[in-house]
């Protein structure tokens, strides 16, 4: 068996960058590396270009436009990362040149990049250990004016789009035939909500049916539930890992330890962490661990579906609960988002989109 350890979103701007500047250069790796003892492969989602070239995207809110100094790639290597997903909405924040330089910097430090694509075809990652070959594919399913993707002759993050979904499914099928165990990372959903959308659930089931053995979700910045579907594991969101945000739900996360075999993934351990005001994680006390695991159990119980039917057919209560969670989250975060340059009109638009997404099948 292979021990895969997976974590959530990482960025090295805002308070994280200030924290690094106040300490010695490799302070973070010294603090965090001990969290991952016994790992064969360490996987995470990198939401920051790492580059000394490029310019911030024109018109994008500077508070949510990220770029990290190049020594961060060495820091990630020192922590122990083997594979990082770059299929997300921030890795293009400083344009195509910074994206390419990020890839170069990670490769220089022996970190494999998942989610790099050109001409709608991804460059898959394959790693062989203990006579087992593990494959990784990473996709982003987000859309907006400042989100960059790969295109015709243009290298960039891989997208998993609704209209062209069959292409991604074909890619998953093809790689599954070449590996013993397939991990798919998805960057998707609404931010600051503990429950996946119905579309996310349906997509997850389709991805599993197409050959994935495990799905690792990112982007919501909140930990979401875990579902077992066709005896495969779906982690809808691992939350943040190294990320500075002021919201209560984004200030705790999990480190997931998995045992990978041939067509098999099992949970070994789920380790909760808190995240301080500087965006740096720390292991919770053993006495507090059960409190966070109960939260995950709460988020997961509405996803239980032993008959493997579409969840909307068996539980409209799930949708109602998710809507209540979304309303509560938006209400709690409303005034915290104003100083970040996210105005009232934008917040209302986001709020309406979230509620509409959950409600559209509640008929």
Q: Is residue 332 part of a domain?
A: no
**Residue 360 domain flag:** no
Q: Looking at residue 312, what is its pLDDT?
A: 40
Domain, as residue range, for 23: 2-306
Q: How many structural domains are present in the chain?
A: 1
| CATH number for the domain that contains residue 181 | 3.60.21.10
Q: Does residue 249 fall inside a structural domain?
A: yes
The DSSP code sequence of 118-177 is ETTEE--EEEEETTEEEEEEEEE----TT----BTTB-EE-B--STTHHHHHHHHHHHHT
Inside any domain, residue 342: no
pLDDT in tens, the chain (363 residues): 999 999 999 999 989 989 988 887 788 999 999 999 899 999 999 999 999 999 999 888 888 899 999 999 999 999 999 999 999 999 999 999 999 999 999 999 999 999 999 887 899 999 999 999 999 999 999 887 778 888 888 889 999 966 765 689 999 999 999 999 999 999 998 888 888 888 898 899 999 999 999 999 999 999 999 999 999 999 999 999 999 988 888 999 999 999 999 999 999 999 999 999 999 999 999 999 999 999 999 889 877 654 434 444 434 555 565 666 666 655 555 555 444 444 556 556 665 666 666 565 444
CA distances from 98 to 57, 93, 140, 150, 347 (A): 11, 8, 18, 14, 29
| 155: CB partners within 8 A, 6+ apart | 96, 99, 100, 103, 116, 117, 118
Examine residue 353 and state whether it is found in any structural domain, yes or no: no
From 282, 226, 216, select the one nearest 251 (Cα to Cα). 282
Residue 351 is predicted with a pLDDT of 59
Does residue 257 lie within any of the structural domains?
A: yes
DSSP string of 261-328, one letter each residue: ETTEEEEEEEEEEEE-TTS-EEEPPHHHHHHHHHHHHHHHHTT--TT---HHHH-HHHHHHHHHHHHH
Residue 174: CB partners within 8 Å, gap ≥ 6? none
Overall pTM surpassing 0.75 (yes/no): yes
State residue 321's pLDDT score: 54
With respect to residue 268, please indicate whether it lies within any of the assigned structural domains: yes
Q: Answer whether residue 13 is part of any domain.
A: yes
């Amino acid at each position: 068996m292979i021990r895969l350890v997976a974590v959530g979103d990482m960025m090295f701007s805002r308070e994280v960058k200030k924290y690094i500047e106040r300490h010695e250069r490799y302070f973070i790796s010294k603090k965090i590396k001990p969290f991952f003892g016994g790992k064969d492969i360490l996987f995470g989602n990198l939401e920051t270009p790492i580059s000394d070239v490029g310019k911030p995207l024109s018109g994008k809110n500077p508070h949510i436009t990220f770029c990290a100094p190049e020594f961060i790639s060495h820091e990630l290597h020192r922590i122990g990362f083997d594979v990082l997903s770059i299929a997300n909405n921030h890795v293009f924040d400083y344009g195509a040149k910074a994206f390419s330089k990020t890839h170069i910097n990670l490769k220089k430090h022996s970190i494999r990049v998942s989610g790099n694509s050109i001409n709608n075809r991804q460059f898959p990652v394959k790693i062989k250990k203990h006579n087992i070959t593990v494959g990784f594919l990473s996709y982003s399913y987000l859309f907006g004016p400042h989100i960059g993707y790969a295109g015709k002759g243009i290298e960039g993050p891989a997208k998993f789009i609704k209209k062209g979904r069959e292409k991604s499914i074909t890619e998953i099928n093809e790689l599954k035939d070449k590996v013993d165990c397939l991990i798919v990372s998805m960057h998707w959903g609404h931010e600051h909500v503990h429950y996946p959308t119905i579309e996310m659930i349906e997509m997850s089931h389709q991805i599993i049916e197409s050959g994935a053995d495990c799905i690792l979700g990112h982007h919501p910045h909140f930990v979401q539930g875990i579902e077992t579907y066709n005896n495969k594991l779906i982690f809808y969101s691992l939350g943040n890992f190294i990320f500075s945000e002021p919201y209560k739900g984004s200030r705790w996360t999990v480190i997931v330890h998995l045992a990978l075999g041939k067509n098999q993934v099992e949970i070994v351990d789920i380790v909760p962490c808190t995240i301080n005001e500087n965006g740096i994680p720390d292991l919770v006390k053993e006495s507090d661990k059960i409190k966070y695991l109960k939260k995950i159990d709460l988020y997961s119980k509405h996803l239980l579906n032993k008959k493997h039917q579409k969840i909307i057919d068996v539980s409209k209560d799930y949708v109602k609960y998710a809507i209540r969670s979304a309303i509560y989250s938006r209400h709690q975060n409303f005034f915290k988002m104003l100083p970040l340059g996210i105005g009232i009109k934008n917040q209302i638009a986001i709020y309406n989109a979230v509620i509409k997404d959950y409600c559209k099948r509640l008929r």
